[in-house]
Structure formats: C-alpha cells, structure tokens
C-alpha cells in the first residue's frame, strides 16, 4: 500500500470517530436538557399543587364544605378511615388528602377529567388512576358505612314514628340518569323519557341509608326491583316482626307497609284548607306520609350534595353504578360525623332527628314479597289505634 493510501484511510477513520463523538455529545446534551426541563416543571408545579390543596382543606370549613361537601374535621377522618380500613396508600408524589380531594371533587361537582387535571396540576391519566383507586377503597368499606336500623319501640315519643311500632324506616326508588350505549337505551328509558337507572334505597329514621341497589334499568318497576333485592343472597334483610314504610308502588305485604289506595295521601293534599282526616284510613295515610317522607328528604339531600347524580357521567355503565354507590356511602359518613348537615337546611320540612331506641335483632328474615290478608289486617289495626287515640 502506498503512503498516500495510508494517509487517506487515516483521515477517513478520524472523521468517522469525530462524527461519532459529536453525535454522542449531542445526545448527552439533549438528555440533560430534557431532564432539567422535567425537574423544573415538577418543581414549579409543586407550589401550585400545594396551594390549591391548602385552599380546599386547610383554610376554613365554609370553603371545604362548598368544594368537598364536608368540613375539615370530617375530611380528615375520612382520609384516616380510607387509609386504615380501605387500604388506600400514598402514591408517587400524590398524598392521601389529594387523592380523596380529587375524588370528592368529581362526585360533588361532576368535574370532568380535563377540569380536575387543570385544577390539581396533574395529568389526565393520573387523575383517572386515583379516581378508580379511591373508588375501590370506598366501596370496600360498605359494611362499615351502611347504617344499622333500629325498630320503633313501645316507649318511642317521636310524634311521627310512635304509631309504627317495629318500623325500621322507609324505602323507595329513585331514577338517576346514566349514559349507556344506543342498543341499551330502550331498556333504560323511564316513563318520562329519560335514560336512567332505577335505584332502590332504604333509609332509617335519621336519613342514613341501610341498603341500596342501583343498576336496574329505568323501565323496571319498583316492585320488581324490591323482589330482586329481597331474593338476593346478600340483599335486603327485614326481620320478622319489623317492616319499612313504602308507597303504593309496592305491594302491602309482610315487612312492607303501604298506605290505603284511593284515599288522600300526599302532604300537599292535606295542606289545602287545613283539611283534617275524616276516618281511620285518612288518618293512617296522613301519618304514614309524614313518617315516610324521610326517604324523600334523604334523596333530596343526597342529590343536592353530589352533583354527579344530577346528570349522566361519561364513564362505563359499571363505573357509573359504582360511583352512585360511593355517593350513598359518603352521604352516610357525612351524616354520622357532622352534627349539622348544611344541605339538609335546603330541604323543606321537619327535621328527621329520632329517639334513642334499642336494637332488637331477629333470627329470621323475610324472603318474599306477597300481599297477605294478615298484613292487611295489621294495617287496619294500626289505623284503628290511631283513630281511637287521636
């Protein structure tokens, strides 16, 4: 090989080495710039995240109730119980308080993912992940957060409930709007034309829910939903000798006491001209609606508190059902922890405070819903007792 050839080959190899070195240096510089930019982005967002969270849960109870539907003390207790009993754990750069605040904001104001991520300076995937994480923790506490009903005893002095010895509370169905596929809309369409799920709910005398069953199509009748709830292995349990008050959408059967049909019933019918009952059936219906109104008030407070129940949400139908269940459970927790419920004040009517009767568990439960002559006679005997002691 000639000397000229050797020098040419050396120059070519040197050029390749220099080019490789330059490319490696550029790659290292690019990675350093991106990493510094990412760190600066995270560091710059942290003060805004902390400031927003602080305004929500640390400034005053008024803002905390307005945004998260509970005061600061109740919010703190909720975070502790979700951590200790629900298995909720801190995430990477996301504490328990922020996780719960994000979830409550979604329920309280029906905030969309893009709104939440903008407010909390988080990514959309992060918001979606922790919404589902907190939802699972809440539902795992259903046995803790559901109320245990107590029957009305003989020494009850509450003027609305003392006539209904053995009564556990009231039940009714409510329609909650949902979003379903086009093929499922006919099944979920209610008589009023809305797309909704027919949700059965049972509450005690303090407006705390004892049982709820969402998920039934809006076209399903109330009686059908109740029969399903009673027949389920872990469904609604009514001890023999006890019962719930319900309207005429259900059958007057063992465990479920309905008013007389064809007789004045609703409160607005009694308010006209200060009308007074003229017979035992009218007196029974008037006192029945005054007591059963507790479930209507519970529904009203529930929907005022949680905005996600007032319009269909953009989640899969199973997630929508789970979110409805979470709203019921949170309602119970707030009612139990807060001495004064500010959202109850927006509902007209009397307070639903109850006496302090003792629980009396029964070994057997009602497992069917069918009208019987014995139960009709039981209703007649209550009506005559009311009439004779008016």
Q: Is residue 314 part of a domain?
A: yes
Q: What is the pLDDT of residue 128?
A: 93
> Both tokens of residue 264?
């004045």
Instruction: Return the pLDDT at 22.
Output: 67
Which one of 124, 140, 156 terminates a domain?
140
3 state DSSP class of 48: helix
List of the chain residues with pLDDT < 70: 1-19, 21-22, 32-55, 58, 266-275, 348-364, 367-368
The two structure tokens encoding residue 363: 């070994």
Check residue 352 and give its pLDDT.
41
What angle separates helix 317-337 from helix 280-305, to the nearest 10 degrees? Answer: 110
Q: How far apart are CA 109 and CA 106, in angstroms?
A: 6
Task: Looking at the structure, tell me whether residues 110 and 161 fall in a common domain.
Answer: no
Non-local (6+) Cβ contacts of 325 within 8 A are 139, 142, 212, 214
Domain boundary among 140, 161, 190: 140
Say yes or no: 211 and 344 in one domain. Answer: yes
User: Which pLDDT does position 35 carry in this prediction?
Assistant: 61
Give residue-wise pLDDT tens across range 106-143: 999 999 999 988 888 888 999 999 999 999 999 999 99
| Structural domain harbouring 191 | 147-388
Asked whether residue 261 falls in the same domain as residue 336, the answer is yes
Which of 140, 156, 184 is the last residue in one of the domains? 140
Q: 17 lies in a domain?
A: no
* One domain for residues 134 and 96: yes
Assess contact for 354 and 158: CB atoms under 8 A. Answer: yes
Q: Which residues of 303-338 are buried (b: 16+ CB within 10 A; e: fewer)?
A: bbbbbbbeebbebebeebbbbbbbbbbbbbbbbebb
pTM: 0.81
Please give the span between the terminal C-alpha atoms of the chain, in angstroms, as a whole number: 127
174 forms bridges with which residues in the sheet? 199
**Are 183 and 256 contained in the same domain?**
yes
265 shares its domain with 319: yes
Same domain as 178, residue 117: no
pLDDT score of 374: 85
Half-sphere exposure of 227 (CA within 13 A, CB side): 12
Q: Are residues 335 and 370 in the same domain?
A: yes
Please name every residue paired with 256 in a beta bridge, in sequence order, or none if there are none: 244, 253
- Does residue 112 share a domain with residue 85? yes
For residues 86 and 111, membership in a common domain is answered with: yes
Distance (Å, whole) CA 220 – CA 200: 11
In a domain, 22, yes or no: no
- Does 83 lie in the same domain as 65? yes
**Contact call for residues 197 and 188 (beta carbons, < 8 A):** yes
347 contacts 301 by C-beta, under 8 angstroms: yes
- 174 vs 192: CA distance, rounded Å: 13
**What's the pLDDT at 355?**
37
- The SS3 call for residue 175 is strand
Q: What CA–CA distance (Å, rounded) separates 174 from 371? A: 23
**Closest to 203 measured CA to CA, from 355, 352, 63:** 352
- The per-residue pLDDT for 242 is 94
């Amino acid at each position: 090989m000639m000397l000229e050839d050797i020098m040419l080959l050396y120059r070519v190899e040197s050029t390749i080495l220099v080019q490789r070195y330059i490319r490696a240096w550029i790659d290292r510089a690019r990675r350093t710039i991106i990493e510094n930019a990412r760190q600066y982005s995270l560091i710059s967002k942290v003060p805004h995240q902390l400031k927003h969270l602080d305004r929500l849960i640390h400034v005053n109870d008024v803002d905390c109730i307005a945004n998260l539907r509970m005061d600061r003390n109740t919010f703190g207790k909720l975070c502790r119980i979700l951590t200790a009993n629900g298995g909720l754990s801190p995430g990477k750069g996301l504490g328990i308080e922020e996780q719960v605040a994000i979830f409550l904001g979604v329920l309280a104001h029906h905030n969309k993912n893009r709104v939440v991520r903008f407010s909390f300076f988080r990514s959309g995937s992060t918001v979606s992940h922790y919404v589902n994480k907190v939802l699972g923790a809440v539902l795992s506490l259903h046995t803790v957060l559901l109320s245990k009903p107590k029957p009305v005893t003989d020494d009850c002095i509450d003027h609305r409930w003392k006539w209904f010895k053995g009564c556990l509370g009231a039940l009714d169905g409510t329609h909650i709007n949902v979003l379903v596929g086009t093929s499922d809309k006919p099944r979920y369409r209610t008589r009023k034309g809305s797309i909704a799920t027919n949700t059965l709910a049972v509450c005690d005398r303090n407006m705390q829910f004892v049982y709820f069953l969402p998920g039934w199509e809006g076209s399903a009748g109330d009686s059908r939903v109740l029969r399903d709830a009673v027949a389920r292995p872990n469904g609604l349990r009514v001890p023999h000798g006890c019962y719930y008050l319900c309207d005429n959408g259900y059958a007057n059967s063992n465990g479920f006491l309905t008013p007389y049909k064809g007789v004045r019933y609703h409160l607005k019918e009694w308010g006209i001209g200060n009308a007074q009952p003229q017979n035992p059936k009218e007196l029974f219906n008037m006192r029945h609606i005054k007591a059963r109104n507790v479930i209507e008030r519970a529904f009203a407070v529930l929907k005022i508190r949680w905005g996600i129940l007032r319009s269909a949400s953009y989640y899969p139908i199973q997630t929508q059902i789970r979110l409805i269940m979470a709203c019921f459970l949170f309602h119970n927790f707030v009612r139990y922890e807060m001495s004064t419920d500010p959202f109850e004040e927006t509902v007209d009517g009397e307070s639903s405070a109850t006496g302090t009767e003792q629980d009396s568990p029964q070994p057997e439960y009602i497992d069917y819903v069918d009208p019987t002559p014995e139960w009709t006679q039981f209703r007649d005997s209550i009506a005559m007792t009311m009439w004779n002691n008016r």
